[in-house]
Amino acid sequence: MNHVCTIVPPYLLQHLAGSRADRSARFTSSVADVAGRTLEHDAAVRAARSSSLTAGPGAPGLTRTISDAHGSQTLPGAQVRAEGAEATGDAAADEAYAGLGDTYALYQQAYGRSSLDGAGLLLGATVHYGRAYDNAFWDGERMVFGDGDGEVFTRFTVSPSVIGHELTHGVTQFTAGLVYQGQSGALNESLSDVFGVLVEQHAAGQSAAEASWLVGQGLFLPAVQGRALRDMAAPGTAYDDDVLGRDPQPATMTGYVETTDDNGGVHLNSGIPNHAFQLAAVAMGGRAWERAGQVWFDVLTGGTLAADVDFAGFAAATVAAAGSRYGDGSDVQGAVRTAWNQVGVSVR
């Protein structure tokens, strides 16, 4: 069974669902209702969803299809754009089309991987899913985007890092298959954040120093006191809002959260490996997808990572991968080791 992976963590939606207009003049009571419905929907889909998707054979190159659910929750919806077709004029459909292409481009151009499965898997997405649905997710087969509630969240296609994040769950599905629970689940989420921001940086031609390192930048509407869903450079600082609460992600192991919620804190504790990657990439300099990203990609796709790996095991694997590709004692290996030690994950 493939876990349905959503971009907005349940703890954020729970804050919204508990809000009411009398707590903040900025939001109407419908925001709480939408958040509550989104939480109920996501829980139901997680409980029911299983996927029979298997790798290849696929097309020789990029192949995308964009469908429109027209406010329903029926997938895939009506196809509105196929590979090579002209833009539709619908912002969500055309942003999804571009984001799928940007994600394919990162994996193919930087790492020589053909689509999510390495065999040219067709990339499908559905837009306008549900009524004011406050999330986006990878369901094991395709990307699905809500339009947001119009007060807290705008449409979920606006952020390339969100699209790259969710599609990377597909790469993980076809490679390491990390168990979506506890530290391996947090690593699953972190890998999606890592390659999600790399999709955005690759498309923009940004260096590690130039990049924002924000996941979901542009999703929050102006009334929200926040910059993004997550900040890899400074976990715990992405938002601080009297209705949404304060970003609860820890940046180091001293803040590690022990919880049974959210599959053992997968969206919380992912801040720790997120920060390790960002520190390593900035220390290496240049473009993050070229060396730091290559090391993380080697570990993700190498075939030796245990599905239930913990932070220490993953950190050790990245140090070993850096040594294998760039040489033991290399500056790259040193940057990776130092970054993990900086976030409190000891690596010799």
Question: For 209-253, how does the pLDDT look when each residue is reduced to its tens digit (9 = 90+)?
Answer: 999 999 999 999 999 999 999 999 999 999 999 888 899 999 999
70 is catalytic: no
Domain ranges of the chain: 51-174, 182-342
CATH numeric code, 51-174: 3.10.170.10
Q: What percent of the chain has pLDDT over 70?
A: 93
Q: Find the catalytic residue in 3, 41, 165, 166.
A: 166
Per-residue pLDDT for 59 more than 60?
Answer: no
Q: Which residues contact 330 (CB under 8 A, 6 or more apart)?
A: 322, 323
Per-residue pLDDT for 57 more than 80?
Answer: no
Judged by DSSP in three states, 78 sits in strand
210 is catalytic: no
**pLDDT for position 214:** 98
Confidence of residue 22 (pLDDT cuts 50, 70, 90): very low
* Structure-block tokens of residue 77: 């919806």
Per-residue pLDDT for 302 more than 80?
Answer: yes
Confidence of residue 21 (pLDDT cuts 50, 70, 90): very low
**pLDDT for position 2:** 56
Of 1.10.390.10, 3.20.20.450, 2.60.120.20, 3.40.190.10, the CATH number of 182-342 is: 1.10.390.10
Task: Give the lowest-confidence range in 30-44, 86-100, 184-198.
Answer: 30-44
* Cα–Cα distance measured from residue 217 to residue 164, given in angstroms and rounded to the nearest whole number: 13
Q: Find the catalytic residue in 41, 165, 267, 275.
A: 267
Are residues 266 and 187 in contact, defined by beta-carbon separation less than 8 angstroms? no
Per-residue pLDDT for 1 more than 60?
Answer: no
**pLDDT for position 43:** 87
* Cα–Cα distance measured from residue 99 to residue 33, given in angstroms and rounded to the nearest whole number: 29
pLDDT mean across residues, the chain:
93
Q: Taking residues 13-24, what's their average pLDDT?
A: 72
Q: Decide if 51-174 and 182-342 have a common fold.
A: no
